[in-house]
Structure 1
Amino acid sequence: MQPIRLLIVDDVENTREDIKRFLYFEEDMEVVGEAATGEEAVDLANSLKPDVILMDINLPGMDGISATEIISVQVPEAAIIIISIQGEKEYLKKAMAAGARDYLVKPFTSTDLADTVRRANDFSRKRHLRLVGEGEKPAARRGKSPGKIITFFSTKGGVGKTTLACNLAIALAAEKGKSVVLVDLDLQGGDVTVILNLVASQTIADLVQEDLENDIAVTDTFLAAHFSGIKVLCAPNSPEQAELVTQDHVTAIIGYLRTKYEYVIVDTAPSYSEVNLNILEITDKVLVPVTQDLPTLRHVRSAMEVLNALRYTEKIVLLLNQLRPDGISVKDLEKNLGCSMTTVIPTDDKTVLQSVNKGQPFVLAQKKSRVAGSVVELADQLCAVKTPEKENPAQGAARFNPIKKIFSLSR
């Protein structure tokens, strides 16, 4: 097996030497180049074509973020890991928006460094194989179209994400007759079981302790059955159990589920975690709820920057939730986000609040309500999207004709 080829970029020679010492005993890694400036990093990245680039954020002249932006376009197959003494979320967001795959905060251990390099390289390799068509999906090999993955994503809580995920999953199953599995990936605070009034006897934290590498089909026995017809993979019962679930676990589980179900609906945690990033990579649609307040607008704008930098633009579906006359106008929201709202969702607190408090999704308990009817129509639109087996995912996204109906959701 070829070693992972690394380019180290740091203006301090002693730091570069320390990194090389950390990697000296890693037999599967090889340092092929060093750079002290952003300009040198760009030149060496183009000439050496490394697998992984360790990029310091503070460089003389062109900084690490600027260099990352250029390299991610010119050498997209290289996985860039930003290294910095700053660990604030704003720096993380900027790094990801520039195209970085991961972020290491100084000081770090040799184990942290090696694990991050392997993880970034593995993800980059899988992504490249998928983009060039060499990574066949399991279902496709059996002559069966893979299921669609619909992911709800927001970096801010309280915007209606989980309620929408639950009701859409049920609408697809109960009204459209589709096989559906709902996965709660808010690992530290998922509310899917609350909204569906389910008792989680087994969760994803229990599942990942099984031998998934040799028996991924064991996943079936950890799915909870809801009377609507959907299956549910529940979030851990306690926050500390979230640490048991890794990105590799989630990727394997979701990959298996899409071979078994027509739709995999994923509710994510409000963060840029490795788990979320992997899901966003393989998902077919990313539904992003928006509300008319400044904090949410700021979060959505940041999320759009990251998603666009990751080249997921064609997957994004913006949902304006809880439209109110006293909130930021739709026109101003669209101007600030640089994108039109796909769907406008007015407020209907009474219907949704009763549904959530009783644990009875409104697409079942209040079928004649405007909100329920509109979610069913959203399900209609999702079912109408035809994605040929060998089609580029971005092409399928571009043809997506989202509904213009108005419905109401709140968390």
Structure 2
Amino acid sequence: MFRKAHILIAGRTQGALTGLSGLLDGYGGIAIDTKVHGNGHGELWRSNEPLPDALVLGIGENWHVELPPLLAALPANKPPFLVACPVNDIDLMKLAMRAGARDVVTPPYEATALAERLLELARESHQGQPTKAARMIAFINAKGGSGGSFMAVNVALDRARSLAHRVMLVDLDIQFASLSSYLNMNAGNGLIRALESADSLDTAAITGYAQKHESSLQLLTAAMSSLIAPDDIAEQRVAALFEVLGQAYDDIVVDLPRRIDRIAATVLERLDKVVLVTQQTVTHLQDTKRIFTVLRDYLGISNDRISIVINRFDRKAEVRRADFAEAFPGVDLLVVPSDFRRVAESINLGTPVIESAPGSAIGKSLKALSERVLPDLAQGEKAAGGLLSWLGVR
């Protein structure tokens, strides 16, 4: 159902491949093939065969004999590759790097680190194709009603106002889209019409389907004018739409419904960052663990591409920030304080908090959140440094 990264492990002997294949075989985000190139002649794959997303050249201690024929067998349009060898030798590294290897790895091999490195290479191979130029993030609720839509709107609006960027906000809830009401706009049906025209869509045409907010933020959403099931929409059309969006805009913020299906998988594999929005209850923590596992182990999204936001944060709650930190070590963990009155007023009036109450605690935390997940690249760390204290409760 979901596309995994296709990794080819190639070598001169089966023994050099078996250990690597077994190590990576249980990692959910990748699909492994092996190929023994025993005779050392010809290319590793035929010209009519699809390229793997990334390649591992597995060699033994006799690398002087094994590696040169493998490098010679690489076609001109080779994917990103690394070399795995039990010998740590500077001459081996020089030879591999001259041939274009991204890395040389030696034992002990750690499955997760190696798999995530290969996923990075797989993404690099797709970046070489005519794909997105825009930065792209998505918000998804770990449990229904956690506040993902609220945060997506505020982050998108802040980036549109603060940066000289073309920002597109996409509501991918095909049946129950609501983002237009957060911005006091009439519901449009541009998303459905854009998907219907995906085969002929270009960067000039896409703006005709978008609704324009007074801030310069643009919105793609689906009005409830007709009942459309998500399964009725081909993922190829979703991919084509986001291909064009990536070329037409600088930043794309997606509000994803809490559903992992073909449409979601098509979007998730393109993201620079996915933001899981949760709250401080045991069931929220459990559901956050579940969806995190799906993202990491089944869709191959590495930890550095995931942020977790605890919404409506309360220092006195029984489920603490430390409980989330313990459950998700090394994952970016942020908090947004509770402010029921301002949030309710914001939603009812269609005026985002980032605009109506920027100086409030929640307004400052939303500003800091937007700078964390979509930083001003021209300002670098300086842009976000002064406000990050609003996010990290130690």
Asked if Structure 1 and Structure 2 have the same fold, meaning a TM-score greater than 0.5 normalized by the shorter chain, the answer is: yes
CA contact (8 A) 1:163 1:195 kept: yes
Instruction: Give 1:126-205 correspondences, 5 Å limit.
Output: 130-132=123-125, 135-138=128-131, 146-205=133-192
For 1:333, which of 320, 324, 333 is the aligned residue?
A: 324
Question: Using the alignment, how far apart are the partners of 2:159 and 2:127 within structure 1?
Answer: 31
CA contact (8 A) 2:194 2:241 kept: no
Question: Using the alignment, how far apart are the partners of 1:182 and 1:302 within structure 2?
Answer: 26
| Equivalence for 2:305 | 315
CA contact (8 A) 2:166 2:217 kept: yes
| Equivalence for 1:116 | none
Deviation per CA, 1:238-288: give whole Å up to 9, x if none. 572244433222211122112111110000010111111111111111111
**2:255 is aligned with 1:295:** no
CA contact (8 A) 1:176 1:379 kept: no
CA contact (8 A) 1:203 1:237 kept: no
- Identity value in percent: 21
Question: Using the alignment, how far apart are the partners of 2:28 and 2:258 within structure 1?
Answer: 28
Deviation per CA, 1:185-218: give whole Å up to 9, x if none. 12222220121121123331222222x2233343
Question: Which amino acid in structure 1 is aligned with residue 179 of structure 2?
Answer: V
Question: Using the alignment, how far apart are the partners of 1:197 and 1:295 within structure 2?
Answer: 32
Instruction: Give 1:369-408 correspondences, 5 Å limit.
Output: 369-384=360-375, 386=377, 404-406=388-390
**SS state of the match for residue 186, structure 1?**
coil
Question: Using the alignment, how far apart are the partners of 2:217 and 2:352 within structure 1?
Answer: 12
Question: Using the alignment, how far apart are the partners of 1:337 and 1:407 within structure 2?
Answer: 17
CA contact (8 A) 1:153 1:270 kept: yes
| Equivalence for 2:350 | 359
Instruction: Give 1:259-298 correspondences, 5 Å limit.
Output: 259-298=247-286
CA contact (8 A) 1:147 1:264 kept: yes
Question: Using the alignment, how far apart are the partners of 1:278 and 1:135 within structure 2?
Answer: 18
Shift of 1:155: 4.2
Question: Which amino acid in structure 1 is aligned with residue 390 of structure 2?
Answer: I
Question: Using the alignment, how far apart are the partners of 1:259 and 1:338 within structure 2?
Answer: 35
Deviation per CA, 1:289-341: give whole Å up to 9, x if none. 12111221111101111222114322001111111213411122222334555
> Closer, same or farther in 2 for the Cα pair 1:207/1:305, shift >3 Å?
same
> Closer, same or farther in 2 for the Cα pair 1:280/1:305, shift >3 Å?
same
Shift of 1:161: 0.3
For 1:215, which of 201, 221, 224 is the aligned residue?
A: 201
**SS state of the match for residue 153, structure 1?**
strand
**SS state of the match for residue 136, structure 1?**
coil
5+ residue gaps, structure 1: 1-42, 48-65, 79-126, 140-145, 388-395
Question: Using the alignment, how far apart are the partners of 1:306 and 1:235 within structure 2?
Answer: 26
CA RMSD between the two structures: 3.5
> Closer, same or farther in 2 for the Cα pair 1:155/1:311, shift >3 Å?
same
For 2:241, which of 253, 257, 273 is the aligned residue?
A: 253
5+ residue gaps, structure 2: 1-13, 19-23, 35-51, 54-119
Aligned length in residues: 282
Question: Which amino acid in structure 2 is aligned with residue 333 of structure 1?
Answer: F
**SS state of the match for residue 200, structure 2?**
coil
> Closer, same or farther in 2 for the Cα pair 1:334/1:378, shift >3 Å?
closer
Deviation per CA, 1:372-410: give whole Å up to 9, x if none. 2332233334454659xxxxxxxx9xxx999743369xx
- TM, length-normalised to structure 1: 0.60
CA contact (8 A) 1:168 1:376 kept: yes
Question: Using the alignment, how far apart are the partners of 1:207 and 1:231 within structure 2?
Answer: 14
**SS state of the match for residue 198, structure 1?**
coil
- TM, length-normalised to structure 2: 0.63
| Equivalence for 1:36 | none
Question: Which amino acid in structure 2 is aligned with residue 290 of structure 1?
Answer: T
Instruction: Give 1:17-96 correspondences, 5 Å limit.
Output: 69=27, 72=30, 74-75=32-33
| Equivalence for 2:101 | none
> Closer, same or farther in 2 for the Cα pair 1:75/1:292, shift >3 Å?
farther
Question: Using the alignment, how far apart are the partners of 1:334 and 1:358 within structure 2?
Answer: 35
Shift of 1:179: 1.5
Question: Which amino acid in structure 2 is aligned with residue 192 of structure 1?
Answer: L
Question: Using the alignment, how far apart are the partners of 1:283 and 1:71 within structure 2?
Answer: 15
Question: Using the alignment, how far apart are the partners of 1:273 and 1:200 within structure 2?
Answer: 24
Shift of 1:128: 8.4
CA contact (8 A) 2:159 2:165 kept: yes
